[in-house]
Chain A
Amino acid sequence: MPTINLRLFALLREQTGVDRESLHTSAQSISALRAELVQRGGAWASLQESARIKAAINQTLVGEDHAIGDGDEVAFFPPVTGG
């Protein structure tokens, strides 16, 4: 089973209490990974808001069908507010 490095930021990081996690997952796409993480309950439920919570793989924004590979860094984050 592939291992990914999960990264969370801002409110998502605060509410789940996780900023980094190495996890084994059978999820092969972003949408599948969201569904898996939502199962943890609590604040993880917000990950199903795919329009609002964006995903990046290896530091590039990706869509829901994007494949996840072994060793990938997968980040989820709320709307950005820089500048």
Chain B
Amino acid sequence: MSQQPASAQQIPRVEVYERDFDVGVELRALRTRPDGEPDTRVGAVASFVGTVRDLNQGDAVAMLTLEHYPGMTEKSIEEIIDQACERWPLYGVKVIHRVGLLKPADQIVFVGVTSAHREAALQACAFVMDYLKTLAPFWKKEALPGQQSRWVDARESDQQAANRWQKA
């Protein structure tokens, strides 16, 4: 079990907004105690950033729209973080997910995790992403120039990735 539950961390654990985020700023915040001093309990900082790929090879740029269910998105990610904190000894967790209009190479999602040792941080980071991909209410719509926009399909591989975390 975690020595200080991540639910007691001072920085908000989940943020959903349209503007861009700065990974360096977020990681620095995760490594800092509430009093502003470095958190010296932390030996491992793991993170993930998801970005928009351009699925349309060629000159025309596709735009991505991220729709979400305000309220439930935050709630579902909080529950995923709670599960991660039950499974691994973590000091801090932060998830940011952008919504609205995005374009290729834009950052979409950030997951940051701190712990004493690397296994917990790395595993928890992957766990949070795998569960977010299958449970958090966001929907991507891709708009190709000159074509009808289409809703991106969910992938079976994402469900399989989430399934691998199921306990025996």
Answer yes or no: B134 CB below 8 A from chain A CBs.
Answer: yes
A39 at the interface (CB under 8 A from B): no
B67–A56 touching, CB < 8 Å: no
Residues of B within 8 A of A83 (CB): 50, 97, 108-109, 129, 132-133, 136, 138, 158
Some 13 contacts from A to B, beta carbons below 8 A apart, are A11-B151, A56-B69, A56-B72, A77-B137, A78-B154, A80-B135, A82-B97, A82-B109, A82-B136, A83-B50, A83-B108, A83-B129, A83-B132
- How many chain-B residues does the 8 Å CB contact rule pick out? 29
B138–A82 CB distance below 8 A = yes
Please determine whether B69 and A9 come into contact, CB atoms closer than 8 angstroms: yes
Binding site for B on A (CB under 8 A): 7, 9-11, 56, 59-61, 75, 77-83
CB distance from A13 to the nearest CB of B (A): 8
Q: Which partner residue on chain B sits nearest A79 by CB separation?
A: B154
Complex Cα–Cα for A60 and B153 (A): 22
Could you tell me if B67 and A59 are in contact, using CB atoms closer than 8 angstroms?
A: no
Judged by a CB distance under 8 angstroms, whether B68 is at the interface is: yes
Contact A82 B75 (CB under 8 A): no
Query: In the complex the two chains form, what is the Cα distance from A71 to B156 in whole Å?
Result: 35
A7 to B137, CA, bound (A): 12
Find the residue from A10, A59, A60, A82 having the highest chain B CB count within 10 A. Answer: A82
CB <8 Å contact, A9 and B139: yes
How many angstroms from the CA of A83 to the CA of B108 in the assembled complex? Answer: 7
Closest 10 interchain pairs by CB?
A82-B138, A79-B154, A59-B72, A10-B139, A83-B133, A81-B140, A81-B152, A82-B136, A11-B151, A83-B132
In the bound complex, residues from chain A placing their C-beta under 8 Å from that of B67 are 9-10
